[in-house]
Amino acid sequence: MTINIAKCLSLDKYDVRFYIVSKEKGEIKSFIPQGYVVKHLKIFNIYDFVTLKLIRIIRKEKADVAFSSMHYLNVRLISACMFCHTHVIVRSNTGLYRNDKITVFLIKLLYKFADIVIAQQDEMRSEIIKVAKVSPNRIVTMSNILDTVTIQAKAMEPSPYDNSEDIRFIIVGRADDPVKGHDVAIQAFSIVKKTISKTQLYVVGKFDKNIDFCQKLIKLVEDLGVQQSVHFIGYDSNPYKWIKNANCYVLSSRQEGMPNVLLEALWLHVPCVATNCVPVIERIVNDGENGYVVPSEDYKALARGMIDAIQLKSVHNSFKTSTPQDFSNLFNKICEQ
């Protein structure tokens, strides 16, 4: 989402520079369009003198405004910007208490000093105001924007599925994270498979057989006898061709911030079934119109939702997302202060 927000800023006015803060550059670099300066701030962990390194970067770049979008990095960027007298905008990527105790403490201590804190939804905004004591004037609710140009272009690539007439359920999200609830989805799919034999479940996202939770998923698939119908695709830089050509998108998460992939699936007119892991889900998915909302952890309800969702036709996304202009206006306002 940081990349999408950066693309909202006119290059005629802004000199946008990306810093990848991590041990390795990783896959994120491939998502940054050509023409932007991309640098790597190598760290081994978040305690690796990150604030001091950020101070050096801000001074070197003579930055007017700095932005980050991960809680653990936000607090360190705010500290660095305070030291450098630089404007700072941070975006809240999850609920506060999904972070470790040190990060929560730093959020309470430092978020009030940011020029602007962006919350993805109203509930998240209220939590930050209450817990971090941020002035309501310094926090705005701005939902994730959809890069529809990129989504459309990638969705037009050839279907990755074979030519079978089986019904295809799709999940996008790293399979090594229990929070994503892939185990719940697999249990639900095993029920669906007994009702509709010609069905397949595809999981697109990081999958490492050496990770404990991935091993548990493999065993679960074997125990349920659906190993011929559950496909762990692994990471793919283009998940949209998988979503576009599926019959139903499944979000089985136990927790979410703003489920962007759900908005993307609906924009591609794919019916969805989603757990009510965060209140905004019920504002995105309208039961019986573009999908179904079911209780978290309830794989039987998820199975019923999956069966019902594939019957829906002409679905669409009715949830109003923020626009590129909204983010452009926000940055313009801060830079003009």
pLDDT digit string (tens) for 155-188? 999 999 987 889 999 999 999 889 999 999 999 9
Please report, rounded to a whole number, the percentage of residues in the chain having pLDDT higher than 70.
100
Please report, rounded to a whole number, the percentage of residues in the chain having pLDDT higher than 90.
79
DSSP-assigned letter for residue 17? E
Q: What is the mean pLDDT of residues 141-167?
A: 92
Is the pLDDT score of 33 beyond 90?
no
Is the pLDDT score of 337 beyond 80?
no
Q: What is the mean pLDDT of residues 267-285?
A: 95
Q: Max CA-CA distance within the chain?
A: 62
Strand partners, 274: 251, 293
Q: What is the mean pLDDT of residues 69-77?
A: 94
The structure tokens listed for 26 are: 């990783």
Q: What is the pLDDT of residues 80-139, one digit of tens each?
A: 999 999 999 999 988 887 788 999 999 999 999 999 999 999 999 999 999 999 999 999
For the chain, what is the mean pLDDT? 93
**What is the rounded distance in angstroms from the CA atom of residue 133 to the CA atom of residue 318?**
33
What pLDDT sits at residue 165? 87
What pLDDT sits at residue 270? 97
Residue 103, helix vs strand vs coil: helix
Whether residue 145 contacts residue 69, with contact meaning beta carbons closer than 8 Å, is answered with no
Is the pLDDT score of 286 beyond 90?
yes
**Which residue segments constitute the domains of the chain, with CATH numbers given?**
2-145+322-335 (3.40.50.2000), 148-309 (3.40.50.2000)
